[in-house]
């Protein structure tokens, strides 16, 4: 009789901390342990079978096509388990088909070595076009781009991309000059797209962004930029979300070296730089993507219905396949190491976490939805691995999840059994604002409902708040400014034009909506470029439906610089918000208290931070309140530190920016002290404690 040994359960070392933070997780700790057990098992396998995480995630240095700097040989290495044969061809051999065949091992890894030329130089020169020639299981010969390509370009007068051998001479390789930023706790993110970052009807460049946009970002008071659409995508109008080459910085904006210069310059200006990372799916393109790379429906993706994303018309990765894991985790390290990005915003995390991809899934918040069969735990384990790679190899890196379902533990440490993300995007907030602007009159806005949406987030899991992002700027939707100003955004934004009721309302609510979201909605703040000054046009990339026009694929920054236009005031308000947060650091505050939600008065009052910071919002359409009593926790003298009614921000100047208020020993709204203020309609006042009453 054979004795069977039981497998020892691997328990997250800090699980007790997680359960103390949220006792409702207690019934689900078995599933949390199981997920963590799978994560640790994979790590142990990588240690024993792959030489450890460091070696495993360095695959980009030897997979793909490289020059051996010691011998000048060309070394090529690819994973294509379904291929019957593989060849390398290109400009370097006049596109002969079978001159350079690969050899295959038992794991489906193909290798090729091409000796240097007679003069000792590499057989393939920098900038030459190259492709892999794959013999598919059916016997056809098909060109493919190397999945590890670092540079691809679209052929002239063609729609598809081709691989470019990228091996610039040493003097052309960018050398970083500045230290990377330490991990910031209070992120103020400027969400950016390099290609649209110019007023011209063209694809803007990395150099344009470095020279013209970075100084603007710093001037506005942001400390972080998030670069979108950097990973190469054949279809520009996909906004970068149909990635075809995961290791290639988009060539439409310039060279990899120019991207490195941009990032280095940002570091020199004190900015953290995040990459919008798309690992949630891959483009279904075959000839310039990685779909059907080896001639099969599988390879990098699931070889069944699970491998297709019907809504996005794309392919879904088989995350637990060892070579797919190697490819994606190496991709994370590549962007961190080679380009010195400081972290990532992970795209489409909700889609990854559920077998339904979240399609038609209305999340009620019950924990059974998160810890039952609906969850794709392989994706959860991959995200744990991705965060582990980031945090272990680059401890100062930051990760943000684009996640709408509210999956518990996603933004808790892996040691607790969590997903390991630092933040999630507060994706429900923009929907609330747009719904109010579209469907309800101002008189029907409920300040209690609005404030509840802003604070309704998981305790101890940090959020990035935003009132709108690129999603709301895209054609088919409208920005908040467009909803507020409507057609008068084109006709009445001059300081010389009539200040109509529409413009008056728009200026007031644009400032209030943004600050309320910023002050109450999370532990970080995000703005999409142009929204800070109420950009008057939506975003639409050149496509067949608009005759390939670039007219809306641009940002009109000059509008905010024009002294005759009211955009300058919204731009100044954006600077004022960031400056106020920088001084009083409310994003890092743990102590937020809402003391007043008065539906009749439309007044919302709350305290946040360690400086006695008081926010007083009056959303009433026409009622201003003199001698309005405000409760507060601390006695002393309060001063105005931000005032939306200030003429600096195109307000009416009804409250003086230099006014101070002395507290009284009168309890109000369950606060021990209070004082009276004048709160005009459609304004927000921010007050800060300056000292005790003498």
- Please give the positions annotated as active site: 347, 402
Q: Around Cβ 626, how many Cβ atoms within 10 Å?
A: 9
Distance (Å, rounded) from C-alpha 12 to C-alpha 29?
A: 10
CA distance 118 to 242: 42
Angle between helix 501-520 and helix 447-455 axes, rounded to 10 deg: 40
Name the maximum alpha-carbon separation found in the chain. Answer: 95
Q: φ and ψ at 653, to 5 degrees?
A: 70, 30
Residue in this structure with the two tokens 């295959």, named with its chain if needed: 104
CA angle 394/395/400 to nearest 5° reads: 90
Who's near 545: CB < 8 A, 6+ residues apart? none
* Structure letter (DSSP) for residue 607: E
Sequence-ordered list of residues with C-beta below 8 angstroms from that of 182, at least 6 positions apart, any chain:
396
Count CB neighbours of 248 within 10 A: 26
d(CA 148, CA 248): 8
Best CA proximity match to 182, nearest among 330, 387, 343, 411? 343
In angstroms, the CA 219 to CA 221 distance is: 5
Residue whose token pair is 């690819």: 78
Are 385 and 39 within 8 A, CB to CB?
Answer: yes
Q: Which residue has the tokens 């290109």?
A: 90
DSSP lists the bridge partners of residue 287 as none
Kindly state the helix (H) or strand (E) to which residue 135 belongs, with its residue range. strand 129-135
Q: How many Cα atoms are found within 13 Å in the side-chain-facing hemisphere of 641? A: 20
CB 380 within 8 A of CB 419: yes
């Amino acid at each position: 009789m054979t004795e069977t040994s039981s497998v020892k359960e691997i328990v997250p070392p800090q699980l007790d901390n997680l359960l103390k933070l949220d006792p409702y997780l207690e019934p689900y700790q078995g599933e949390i342990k199981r997920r963590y057990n799978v994560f640790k098992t994979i790590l142990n396998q990588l240690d024993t079978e792959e030489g450890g995480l460091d070696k495993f995630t360095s695959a980009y240095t030897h997979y793909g096509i490289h020059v051996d700097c010691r011998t000048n040989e060309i070394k090529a290495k690819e994973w294509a388990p379904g291929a019957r044969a593989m060849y390398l061809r290109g400009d370097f051999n006049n596109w002969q088909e079978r001159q350079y065949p690969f050899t295959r091992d038992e794991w489906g890894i193909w290798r090729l070595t091409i000796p240097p030329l007679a003069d000792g130089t590499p057989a393939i020169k920098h900038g030459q076009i190259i492709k892999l020639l794959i013999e598919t299981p059916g016997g056809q010969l098909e060109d493919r781009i190397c999945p590890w390509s670092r540079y691809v370009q679209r052929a002239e007068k063609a729609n598809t991309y081709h691989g470019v051998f990228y091996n610039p001479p040493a003097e052309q390789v960018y050398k970083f000059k500045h230290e990377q930023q330490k991990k910031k706790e209070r992120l103020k993110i400027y969400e950016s797209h390099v290609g649209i970052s110019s007023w011209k009807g063209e694809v803007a460049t990395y150099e344009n962004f470095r020279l013209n946009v970075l100084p603007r970002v710093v001037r506005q008071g942001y400390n972080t930029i998030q670069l979108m659409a950097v990973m190469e995508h054949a279809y520009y109008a996909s906004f970068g979300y149909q990635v075809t080459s995961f290791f290639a910085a988009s060539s439409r904006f310039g060279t990899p070296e120019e991207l490195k210069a941009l990032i280095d310059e940002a570091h020199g200006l004190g900015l953290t730089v995040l990459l919008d990372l798309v690992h949630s799916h891959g483009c279904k393109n075959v000839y310039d993507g990685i779909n059907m790379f080896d001639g099969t429906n599988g390879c990098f993706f699931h070889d069944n219905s699970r491998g297709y994303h019907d809504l996005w018309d794309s392919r879904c990765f088989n995350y637990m396949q060892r070579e797919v894991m190697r490819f994606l985790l190496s991709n994370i390290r590549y962007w961190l190491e080679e380009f010195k990005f400081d972290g990532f915003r992970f795209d489409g995390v909700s889609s990854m976490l559920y077998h339904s991809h979240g399609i038609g899934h209305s999340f009620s918040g019950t924990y059974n939805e998160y810890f039952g069969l609906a969850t794709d735990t392989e994706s959860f384990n991959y995200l744990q691995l991705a965060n582990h790679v980031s945090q272990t190899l680059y401890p100062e890196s930051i990760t943000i999840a684009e996640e709408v379902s509210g999956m518990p533990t996603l933004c808790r440490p892996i040691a607790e059994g969590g997903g390991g993300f630092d933040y999630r995007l507060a994706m429900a907030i923009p929907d609330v604002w747009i719904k109010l602007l579209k469907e309800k009159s101002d008189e029907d806005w409920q300040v209690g409902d609005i404030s509840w949406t802003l604070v309704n987030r998981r305790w101890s899991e940090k959020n990035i708040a935003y009132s709108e992002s690129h999603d709301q700027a895209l054609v088919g939707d409208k920005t908040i400014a467009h909803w507020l100003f409507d057609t008068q955004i084109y006709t009445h934004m001059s300081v010389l034009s009539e200040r109509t009721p529409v413009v008056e309302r728009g200026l007031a609510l644009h400032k209030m909506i943004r600050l309320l979201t910023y002050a109450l909605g999370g532990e970080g703040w995000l703005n999409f470029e142009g929204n800070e000054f109420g950009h008057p046009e939506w975003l639409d990339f050149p496509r067949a439906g608009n005759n390939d026009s670039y007219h809306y694929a641009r940002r009109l920054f000059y509008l905010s610089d024009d002294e005759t236009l009211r955009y300058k005031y919204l731009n100044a308000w954006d600077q004022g918000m960031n400056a106020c947060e920088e001084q009083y650091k409310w994003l890092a505050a743990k102590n937020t208290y809402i003391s007043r939600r008065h539906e009749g008065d439309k007044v919302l009052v709350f305290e946040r931070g360690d400086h006695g910071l008081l926010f007083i919002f009056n959303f009433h359409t026409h009622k201003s309140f003199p001698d309005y009593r405000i409760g507060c926790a601390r006695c002393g003298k309060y001063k105005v530190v931000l005032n939306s009614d200030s003429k600096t921000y195109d307000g009416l100047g009804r409250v003086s920016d230099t006014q101070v208020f002395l507290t009284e020993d009168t309890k109000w709204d369950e606060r021990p002290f209070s004082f009276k203020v004048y709160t005009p309609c459609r304004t927000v006042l921010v007050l800060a404690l300056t000292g005790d009453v003498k």
